Amino acid sequence: MNASKRPMIIAANWKMYKTAADVGLYMSSFYDALPEQRAGVRLVFFPAAVMIPDVVQAVAKRAQVGGQNCHWETEGAYTGEIGAGMLAAAGAELVLVGHSERRQLCGETDAQCAKKIVAALNAGLDPMLCVGETLEEREAGRQHAIVLGQLSRAIDGLSRDEYARLALAYEPIWAIGTGRTAAPVDAQQMHATIRDAVASIASPSIAAAMPILYGGSVKPNNAVDLVGQPDIDGALVGGASLFPLNFAAIATAAARTAS
């Protein structure tokens, strides 16, 4: 039982999968399998940017929609990039920042994440910053130092109101798309460490209110143990969210934990 007053957030990261033609069937299967949406659970979909209007229409206010990335400039000669304001105009309310696939495949840095968070906030989007360590870093016992470094370099210096709009996702890189999940007790320990760090960077009351999601091979059969931890406020789900029945099962399990 999650006794905190923080909302439980269950978010789907569709990565570079699906097209607009898939959205209608996905949502009807998903909501058929989720007859009762409990208060206390917020659902978020992060589709590829081109599908944002379709997903916004299909969820019909039952869920929020976010972009998977944004540029830190409002506009400019940045071929292939997308501005936070463009995501907002398409109907997004949130945006992921610093997902490990972007850090690893596109060389995204903490300094860029910091600028993207500011750009998102200025465009009216709520940023969700992803942090996490590699397997080598964990095996070397450096996971806390790595994650806290990513965190402090990206979120230092925001205003109180801006911190209130920020969410975090702890996603150990070795658990993303690998089928390996952090043990709930290890994930809880990292989440508590992150929350302590937010208390130092921002303030204890901001830290107490900040949603910190876990991500990394969350599935219907492990969701309850993870989101049932006191400092885990939901899940960012990649692979399993591509299948509406699996994602509905995760959301249902989380709703039970939150109630």
**Residues recognised as catalytic:** 99, 171
x/- binding map, residues 219-238, to ligand PEP, per CB under 6 A? -----------------xxx
Residue closer to ligand PEP, measured from CB, 112 or 181:
181
Q: Which of residues 135-174 bind ligand PEP (CB under 6 A)?
A: 171
CB-based contact 10:248 (threshold 8 Å):
no
Q: Which of residues 191-220 bind ligand PEP (CB under 6 A)?
A: 215-218
Report the nearest approach of ligand PEP to the CB of residue 63 (Å).
Answer: 17
Using a CB cutoff of 8 Å and minimum separation of 24, what contacts does 241-245 make? 241/11, 241/12, 241/13, 241/14, 242/14, 242/17, 242/18, 244/26, 244/27, 244/29, 244/30, 244/33, 245/29, 245/30, 245/33
Report the nearest approach of ligand PEP to the CB of residue 181 (Å).
Answer: 8
Residue closer to ligand PEP, measured from CB, 162 or 215:
215
Q: b/e for 133-148, b at 16 or more Cβ within 10 A?
A: bbeebbeeeebbebbb
Q: Which of residues 236-255 bind ligand PEP (CB under 6 A)?
A: 236-240
**CA gap 105, 47 in Å, rounded:** 19
Residue count, binding to ligand PEP (CB under 6 A):
14
First-residue to last-residue Cα distance in the chain:
8
Report the nearest approach of ligand PEP to the CB of residue 97 (Å).
Answer: 12
Footprint of ligand PEP on this chain (CB under 6 A)?
Answer: 13, 15, 171, 176-177, 215-218, 236-240
